[in-house]
Structure 1
């Protein structure tokens, strides 16, 4: 059970809305799924008004990215866990940046959907709508002039938004270590891309979708011999303005400094950031703004560097141990040799959301390896690396050596606690909105958190951190599954029904994301570096 303790908030934090957690709680409660809410929503998909897959700038200078970038060569399970076999980190040049961007959010598959050519990407996204955009604040990248750029995956190029080295300005609004990294990748969400289908609940998806990309980026950085960090403490308005984002259309989700520490910016004092409004093609003819999204998001803003520093220093202690009388099962030894012949780049290209499971068994060793690999420390600015906010529950439908039933994973003891025993395929499907796919899965994970305690420690911004961590763990489950030759697919869920099903153990916990795992019932074609990139 996580135990969280709040640090002392400064006067500036108290004067902001971040401490008034009614905003996050009201948003979460109002966007819960239930059988009644789905039956009475009245929402339909307006296909004629579907948002574009891509953000396209109309009048910016572009820099083509190298198309001869290498594929990540690290053994996948090692990289996914954030470890590396390299003794020296690779320097970050334009080719290495191209590799990071492509295997985080590049195009790996294409197909026709009616008259539309649709692209799939290196990391999964809810509804394949891809709301997450990546920006690069570059200062010391060999072959790339210092500047602020937007990554265009379709043209495989960088659109230059600002000239010059803005690392000092970004660090002044976030974390001082950013000045030492050659570049920082900023994740943003274009709200309408996902709200078109998922309405107000889509705010959760900003962090789910951002999290799975972050899982890729963490693995890729390890493959290059360095470590990135997920930064969620930043002055929102300053970072949004630096990137030229339009208010209530797009917002920053997190920052990730990449590459080995090198030459810091020569600017000792932040320079003035003039407002800009680059011309962008509209995503669709009409856009609906959901007030609840922006109300919750603004209520989690940090307005000054002092607020950022206070927020990142909040005291949080986490323990996943819990005294219970539930039967305990030890994990199997990790499958160290199973993926030594595989490479991270191959696994990322193979990854795709499984659409049909074979109802076959996976092994307890496979499940144990995925649990260990997916739930370890996440490098970040707001928590010590020894723990995370996520509690992992799952339904086991077909695991060799493990009785069917529901379980809790206790990472500190490396054991499973059996909560219920029996055939639960019907229940695992029901909890995931009645989707048969999740009754066919061998295992269905439900990633949960003690949300009220998280918000008590981190304020409304804690809602972002919990959801983002859920997305990162889900992304690691995806990658670990495909590394072991299995398949996976993410899902939404009936919120309160999940908590009730796993109670009393999960009492007071909120579900963040669900992921099905199993043996695919078909052989999917792997993705590839598409022809326009070779």
Structure 2
């Protein structure tokens, strides 16, 4: 049995009534551990291989690739000398999903990861599929990381060895994507459902893309800061990838592939199914519950093979899907700072500083800083979901593409110097806000955010909305994943752009779905929220 994206989204909406009647107590004695621990697998330590990315965070997140362009397949340079190595893998994994902060509270050490995730439950894992990477100081020593399939363990800062040998061809065949075929290595994200469902139950399928999106935002920024090509592949045959990683999809499923770098293509001829593996894993908690709706929603969007994946990504209508055209409201042009005068806080320090703000004061933030955060973060996501003729456009043609393909950003502004309070529709291609309503909406903002004070106190609440019916009609059930991911990856960049500024803080919040739609109607009629990000001055 499968449940399509439309039904899943409707069944997992929050309303004042559903939250009031559906709240459940949390059994902390049964809380799952936030790590995947294998039994008796060999591991490669990484601790002495970290290379902190020094590029300013605002510059790193603003690039779709190191040179600002997404290259076509015929633009890839197989002789490029900038080859990744074990240090590259270490830096990417650590600054995307590593433990970057420890806070002592009530006699316990609370460990926080590099990217924000719902409830700090950390259900997203990273896997590395690579050929031989790098060379040691002495070429006779061989590669710094041997070809294989690995799992990143943030607890020990090491790579668990799942398979030895070069399986990039298996991954590339499943994706049917040139970028994966040409990458020296790819990072695959996954979600372990129970680690999030312990608290959020069926909404975990949404959170899989919320939390992998914020993780990938870090991953892309670090890759670009290290001058590697990186983009997100959302289309691939799910079950072959799960089998390659040794995953049982009722429990843990692959979400996205992020190919890193470029080089000679992996050998695709004669690719055969790898031998099955079923590594033993430590139990997550004394009793692990299943939520069938999560797996059913995942299964509804699966793809069978690389040909189907390639057809899905290329056979789509032209232009944005699920968004709304601008209206005739008053336009306010935003004026971000240029790269020379922008904050120069390095990406590594920004990621280490990033938190999820727990309290705002109501001091206003500057319109210039808001403009800069929006300008750097809301630029579009380098995903594979685009038509074949769009993928083969020139650089100038690609630059004119709309920044967002599946979601619209709407704002409630309550505390920005130089910007009147009210609601707005943001048009990133024009760097303009279109005013929808005038007035201070602090009480409304708090109510929309599940009646949380953070929503009311924030200087700005930024909502991403999409039209699920339009998405599913055009892209099928897998399109729902792409829309959720575009919103969350953009929100992940908003986190980084926010924390690049010393006096700003931000956090994501949950929301009453239909109440948000009603607030932004009539512009948002037929749309539904996918992510809520707030920004302000930390108290």
Q: Does 1:331 align with 2:334?
A: yes
Paired with 1:239 and 1:84, the residues of 2 have a C-alpha distance of 25
The within-5 A match list for 1:164-175 is 164-174=165-175, 175=177
1:368 paired residue among 350, 365, 371: 371
Give the secondary structure class of the aligned counterpart of 2:360.
coil
Q: How far did residue 413 of structure 1 move?
A: 2.4
Alpha-carbon spacing, 1:89–1:488, altered in 2? closer, same or farther (3 Å): farther
- 1:18-167 matched pairs, under 5 angstroms: 23-82=4-63, 90-112=82-104, 117-142=109-134, 143-167=144-168
Specify the alignment match of 2:282 in structure 1. 281
Shift of 1:335: 4.3
Matched, 1:503 2:484: no
Retained in 2: the 8 A contact 1:89–1:224? no
Match of 1:253 in 2: 255
- Looking at structure 2, the residues matched to 502 and 176 of structure 1 have their Cα atoms a distance apart, in angstroms, of 40
Alignment-derived partner of residue 7 in structure 1 = none
How far residue 268 of structure 1 moved from its aligned partner, in angstroms, is 3.0
SS class of match (1:253): strand
The answer to whether the Cα contact below 8 Å between 1:438 and 1:444 also exists between their aligned partners in 2 is: yes
Deviates further, 288-297 or 115-124:
115-124
Q: Which moved more, 1:410-419 or 1:382-391?
A: 382-391
Question: Are the equivalent residues in 1 in contact too, given 2:32–2:194 (CA < 8 A)?
Answer: yes
CA distance in 2, matches of 1:409, 1:206: 26
Further displaced range: 23-32 or 447-456: 447-456
Kept in 2, the 8 Å contact 1:78–1:84? The answer is no
**1:357 and 2:360 are equivalent in the alignment:** yes
Q: What is the alpha-carbon distance in structure 2 between the residues aligned to residue 430 and residue 187 of structure 1?
A: 33
2:500 aligned with 1:483:
yes
Tell me how far 1:358 sits from its aligned partner.
1.6
SS in 1 for 2:308: helix
What do residues 267-313 of structure 1 show as CA deviations (whole Å, max 9, x unaligned)?
63213311111000011011111111111110111012221111011
Of 426, 431, 439, the residue aligned with 2:448 is: 431
How has the CA–CA distance of structure 1 residues 165 and 456 changed in structure 2, closer, same or farther, with 3 Å as cutoff?
same
Q: Relative to structure 1, is the Cα distance of residues 54 and 114 closer, same or farther in structure 2, using a 3 angstrom cutoff?
A: farther
Native 8 Å contact 2:95 2:114 kept in 1: yes
Q: How has the CA–CA distance of structure 1 residues 514 and 392 changed in structure 2, closer, same or farther, with 3 Å as cutoff? A: same
CA 176–364 in structure 1, closer or farther in 2 if over 3 Å, else same: same
Q: Is the 8 A contact 1:329 1:415 kept in 2?
A: yes
Structure 1 residue 202: deviation in Å?
1.4
TM-score normalized with structure 2 length: 0.89
1:137-193 per-residue CA deviation (whole Å, 9 max, x = no partner) reads 011312011000000011100000011000011111002332321110000000000
Superposition CA RMSD, Å: 1.9
Q: How many residues align?
A: 501
Judged with a 3 Å threshold, the aligned counterparts in structure 2 of structure 1 residues 221 and 411 are, in CA distance, closer, same or farther, namely same
Map of 1:395 onto structure 2: 412
CA contact (8 A) 1:321 1:412 kept: no
Aligned pair 1:198/2:200, yes or no?
yes
The Cα of 1:345 is off from its aligned counterpart by 0.9
The TM-score with structure 1 as length reference comes to: 0.90
Question: Which runs of 5 or more structure 1 residues have no equivalent in the other structure?
Answer: 1-15, 522-534
Task: Please list every run of 5 or more consecutive structure 2 residues that lacks an aligned counterpart in the other structure.
Answer: 69-79, 135-143, 391-397
Whole-angstrom distance in 1 between the partners of 2:340 and 2:482: 34
Partner of residue 468 from structure 2, selected from 442, 447, 451: 451
Q: How far apart, in 1, do the equivalents of 2:440 and 2:342 lie?
A: 31
CA separation in 1, counterparts of 2:64 and 2:10? Answer: 38
| Cα-to-partner distance string for 1:422-472 (whole Å, 9 max, x where unaligned) | 111111111000100111110010111122111111100011111111110
Post-superposition shift, 1:257? 0.6
